[in-house]
A and B are shown apart, each in its own frame.
Chain A
Amino acid sequence: MRNENIVITRYQIGLIASIVGATGLILGIVGFLWQGSFTTFIISSLIVGGLGTALWALMTPSEFRAFIQGRQVRQSISSVFAALLLLGIVILAYGLAQRAVISMDMTIDNQYTLSDTTRQILRRVTRPMQITGFYSPRGVAFREIDDQFWRQYEEESGGLITRRYVDPDVEPGLRSQFQVVNEGEVFLSFVNPDGSLDMPSTQIVPRENGQERDMSQTISRMLIAGSVTVYFEVGHGEYDPEDSTQQGLSRINLGIQQSGLITLPLSLPELAASGGRIPDDASALIFARPQTDLSEAEVIVLDDYLQRGGSLFIMADAVFVDNPFLQENGIFSQYLWNNFGLRPLDAIVVDPPMGVRTPVDIQSAAVFTGNPIASRLDSDTAQLQFNIVRPIQINTTPPANTTNGQIILSSDQSFAERNLIAFGQSNTINFDDGQDIRGPFATVAWADNQATGAKLLLTGDADFATNGLVVVGGNSILFTDGLVWLSGFADQLNFGVQFFGSTAPFMFASGQQLDFIAFLTVFLIPGVVLLSGLAIWYRRVRA
């Protein structure tokens, strides 16, 4: 390239002025045709256009005159018309393409295509729903990506789910109705037969795990909202479902509620005293480490519930009190043994090979994955972690109409320490021949009665479900899938993790590999290109 001085001539000023003028005039005219009225923008465009044209006429009068008279005008006008015609055709084609909504999801894990899980959820939608998204002009790009998903919900649900986008600045009424706080918030509501929104049913779609998972979970939650109730027993000193400390159960309680289930407290002692019964809507009754054992009256109330097909989620634990819960010779223990062939022993499992810090903080040694509760537990990332576990004895010839089985086992090097007093007072563990028993033991077991529909899930530990431990390994899966199985809405509810996860793997590479890649891409490839350029340059100066 040769360097040249840029001299601004009259001609160039005229040229620039003509371009500015033409642009202004075209913008003004197009704007007027578009909006149909003279807005400030259009008027200023026209003024700029006029000024530009005037400057052009002033700077290069001869050219301007020739433009008005000559072939240039004829040709230019015909060219402008042809260009506009072409533009019209292009815009038409664009409009058609846009309306046709033809798109292809190229990602290897089909991130932008609804998954089978979502399709299953959508198949259960019977009542019209509306997705209401609040996007201001700042969020158009965001809205465009969201819409790629919401549009598919509309199509896949056969129009039962519709979408509506609201600019929160334009419709502040709706904004306050939905209590919108942030840009880009999306809500899901049922639609009444008269077309109005069923506002009390409205739920906000959380923005946590990507559009599809967030929306599908919200839909799922709406579908089962209020139809399933889970009770927490609170009359025997259990862990508190409202407690948000490490020892509380607020996390699982909230998780259940977020899945659309209702959780309520229930006091068995009060029911027994008042002669009441466990409500019919109880999909499950959860015992989270009761301290004291049940009375006979309470067992009668429970039996009544189980006869009606009730479900019990019993998280027993070793408690060092008088009259502890589910003591071996207690009436409730007897009841479970007689009716389900399961009972926890008055012992704790000591499992040195599986111990995390101590031999009583143990991980699962074996998982029976054939069971729906355990199907997702068989992976390295879903290791369970228990803290002081009671072994569960299983009657291999269960009562009539009943089946039972083990889910989690301790290792064959484990044993059951029966001297709970010594352990409770001084943390002493040692194997006493003749008294203690050799493992392996079941630590989680299940049973159900085909005649009544009653179900029982029994764990030898309750700590795994507390706020402190539920986030560890597969603990939340055990709780979730256990409750799903008990409440019988396995096909309705997915509030677990990793249903919609991306399959593109994270990357692991050694420093050496990274260095090599950096060398290749930052030095070698550009270097080869630069050297080729230099070679050509050299050949040129030499020639």
Chain B
Amino acid sequence: MHYEAEHTGNFNDMIEIEKLTKRYGQHVAVDHISFKAKQGEIVGLLGPNGAGKTTTMRMLTTFMPPSEGTAKVAGFDIQQDSFEVRKRVGYLPERIPIYPDMTVWGYIAFWAQLRDVKNMKQVDAILDRVQLLDRRKTLLRNLSKGMRQRLGLAQALVHDPPVVILDEPTIGIDPQQVIEVRDAVRQLGEKHTVLFSTHILSEAEQVCDRVVIINRGKIVAQGTPATLRTQLQPGAHLFVQISGASAETILKLLRTIPGVSDAQPNGNGFSVRTGTKQDVRAEISGRVAGAGYALLEMRPVAMTLEDIFLDIVGREATP
């Protein structure tokens, strides 16, 4: 088939999403979301599990059509010119797709050929880039989880697509590999437009130029990580361990400290939330010492997005 596809819109916008909606029966998985991604931009899609991240990505990769709305990838409509879109997208699904009985090289070469790569040197090049070239004859069933992740990345990049879509690429791998993958994604931003999903705020913060946060299929917020953090993280979250009195007494004490919105027992210590952005750590240590107790430990807890959402949702629920 030959497509005389027409570029429309601003070529600079590699991804344009316009009121994209997906319904499963009564359930609305993605609800009228719209955003754009420019060339070379790394956009993080942030949201808790079930927020609609994967569904959005599947629509963008033409795996499933939207119920309403449109999207364009590299200027091609995902429904009208789906083949043109597919040629220009590299996709890494959340679960790394594996043919257990293929070799590393054979696997990458297979996807390369399916995507019209003529020069098989590209296969070696991409394997070299993800440091799997020395494993080229290994069967996939014998690869470690981290290696599979890199293999998945290689698969998504072998045809040098302008747009790369990565669904939770850092899930389930060890911390060292997480760092590697994040570095790899950051490097991608030099040549490719990257849309990647995560539910870890700090990851989005580190990697992305821009973050789109969705919950229950709707965009909750979008912007650069710095602005979002200030917008979304109104309070801090501390873990303290105090000895010298009963938990009841200490809880009472903590709750009376100005700026502390809530305190709860948490393991052998306490979770402390602050309602404002002011730093209450000095205040806490002062009060604890003043009361004659010993402050054994105090550290900030990185808030996951889910915590923040719990906050937001909690606030939305009780206005």
| Given A540-B101, A543-B142; A66-B67 close (CB under 8 Å) | no
B139/A540 in contact, CB under 8 A? yes
Whether the Cβ atoms of B139 and A69 lie closer than 8 Å is no
A503-541 vs B, CB cutoff 8 Å, 1 = contact: the mask equals 000000000000000000000000000000000000010
B175 at interface by CB-CB < 8 Å: no
Which of A62, A540, A543 sits near B25, CB closer than 8 Å? A62
Which residue on B lies nearest to A540, using beta carbons?
Answer: B139
A159 on the B face (CB < 8 A):
no
Contacts of A543 in B (CB 8 A): 138-139, 142
Residues of chain A contacted by B141 (CB below 8 angstroms): 540
- Cβ-closest chain B residue relative to A536: B101
Q: Which residues of B contact A63 (CB under 8 A)?
A: 25
A540→B140 CA distance, assembly (Å): 11
Chain B residues with Cβ below 8 Å from A66 are: 24-26
The docked-state distance in angstroms from the alpha carbon of A62 to that of B26 is 8
Answer yes or no: A70 CB below 8 A from chain B CBs.
Answer: yes
Interfacial residues of chain B within 213-235, with CB under 8 A of chain A in the complex: none
- Inside 8 A of A71's CB, which chain B residues have their CB? 65, 67
A123: which B residues are within 8 A, CB to CB? Answer: none
User: Looking at chain A, what size class is its interface with the partner chain?
Assistant: under 10
Is the C-beta of A65 less than 8 angstroms from some C-beta in chain B? yes
Chain A residues 60-92 with CB under 8 Å of chain B are 62-63, 65-66, 69-71
With the chains together, A70 CA to B142 CA distance in Å?
Answer: 43
Q: Which of B79-136 contact A (CB under 8 A)?
A: 101
Q: Given the complex of chains A and B, what is the CA–CA distance between A502 and B26 in angstroms?
A: 72
In angstroms, Cα B23 to Cα A71, docked, is 10
A494 to B123, CA, bound (A): 78
B36 to chain A: closest CB distance in Å? 27
**Chain A facing B: main interface SS:** helix
Query: Cβ of A70 and Cβ of B101 under 8 Å apart?
Result: no
Residues of B within 8 A of A65 (CB): 25-26
Query: CA separation between A70 and B67, bound complex, in Å?
Result: 9
Q: Chain A's nearest CB lies how many Å from the CB of B137?
A: 8
Give Cα A65–Cα B142 distance, bound, in whole angstroms.
Answer: 44
What residues on B are CB-neighbors of A540 within 8 Å? 101, 139, 141
Report A-chain residues with C-beta under 8 Å of the C-beta of B26. 62, 65-66
Smallest Cβ distance from B91 to chain A, in angstroms?
22
Q: Is the CB of B25 within 8 A of A69?
A: yes
Q: A403 to chain B: closest CB distance in Å?
A: 86
Chain A residue at minimal CB-CB distance from B67 = A71
Interface residues of B in 139-163 (CB under 8 A from A): 139, 141-142
Chain A: minimal CB distance from B143 (Å): 11
A168–chain B nearest beta-carbon distance, Å: 59
- B27's nearest neighbour on chain A, judged by CB, is A62
B-chain residues with CB within 8 Å of residue A69 when the two chains form the complex: 25
B26 to chain A, nearest CB (A): 7
B138 proximity list for chain A (CB < 8 A): 543
CB closest chain-B residue, reference A63: B25
For residue B23, which residues in chain A have a CB less than 8 angstroms away from its CB? 70
CB-CB < 8 A to B142: which residues of A? Answer: 543
Q: Which residues of A contact B139 (CB under 8 A)?
A: 540, 543
CB-contacts of B19-34 with A (<8 A)? 23-27
Instruction: State the CA gap A63–B26 with chains docked (Å).
Output: 10
Chain A residue with minimal CB distance to B142? Answer: A543
How far is it, in angstroms, between the C-alpha of A65 and the C-alpha of B26 when the chains are bound? Answer: 9
Per the bound structure, the CA–CA distance linking A66 and B26 in Å amounts to 7
CB distance from A137 to the nearest CB of B (A): 49
What distance in Å separates the Cβ of A423 from its nearest Cβ neighbour in chain B?
A: 90
Q: What is the CA–CA distance of A70 and B24 in the complex, to the nearest angstrom?
A: 8
Within 8 A of B (CB), among A404-442: none
CB distance from B301 to the nearest CB of A (A): 38
CA distance A65 to B27 in the complex (A): 11
C-alpha gap A66/B24 in the complex (Å): 7
Tell me, rounded to whole Å, the shortest Cβ–Cβ distance linking B144 to chain A.
14
List 20 contacting pairs A-B, 8 Å CB cutoff, sorted by A.
A62-B25, A62-B26, A62-B27, A63-B25, A65-B25, A65-B26, A66-B24, A66-B25, A66-B26, A69-B25, A70-B23, A70-B25, A71-B65, A71-B67, A540-B101, A540-B139, A540-B141, A543-B138, A543-B139, A543-B142
Apart from A63-B25, A540-B141, A543-B138, list 14 A-B contacts with CB within 8 A: A62-B25, A62-B27, A65-B25, A65-B26, A66-B24, A66-B25, A66-B26, A69-B25, A70-B25, A71-B65, A71-B67, A540-B139, A543-B139, A543-B142
5 tightest CB-CB pairs across the interface, nearest first?
Answer: A66-B25, A62-B25, A543-B139, A65-B25, A543-B142
